[in-house]
């Protein structure tokens, strides 16, 4: 299922994440899709989505730190 991590391991070099539980992370799946581990902000954010955007019952709105995505950028493919 998980093909590879995009960006560095958030605990590399002994780094600690908030509360030391879990960590924000981005993975490429063997299907070519992506999985994101982040803070679930669905209840608060769903009501504030822009027009035309919805969050289905089987979806969650998650937040990852900017640093996580920026560090993963070199690993994200340029084409679909």
Q: pLDDT digit string (tens) for 36-58?
A: 999 999 999 999 999 999 999 99
Residue 33 within any structural domain of the chain: yes
Which stretches of the chain drop beneath a pLDDT of 70?
A: 13-21
Residue 10 within any structural domain of the chain: yes
Residue 15: predicted pLDDT: 62
Residue 76: predicted pLDDT: 93
Residue 57 within any structural domain of the chain: yes
In angstroms, the CA 52 to CA 73 distance is: 27
In angstroms, the CA 68 to CA 65 distance is: 5
Residue 28 within any structural domain of the chain: yes
- For the chain, how many structural domains are there in total? 1
Residue 49: predicted pLDDT: 97
Q: Which domain holds residue 65?
A: 2-75
Residue 11: predicted pLDDT: 78
Residue 20: predicted pLDDT: 57
């Amino acid at each position: 299922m998980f093909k590879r991590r995009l960006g560095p391991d958030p605990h590399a070099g002994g780094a600690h994440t908030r509360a030391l539980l879990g960590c924000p992370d981005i993975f490429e799946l063997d299907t070519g899709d992506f999985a994101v581990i982040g803070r679930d902000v669905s209840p608060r954010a769903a009501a504030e989505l822009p027009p035309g955007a919805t969050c289905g019952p089987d979806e969650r709105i998650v937040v990852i730190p900017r640093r996580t995505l920026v560090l993963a950028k070199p690993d994200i493919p340029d084409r679909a």
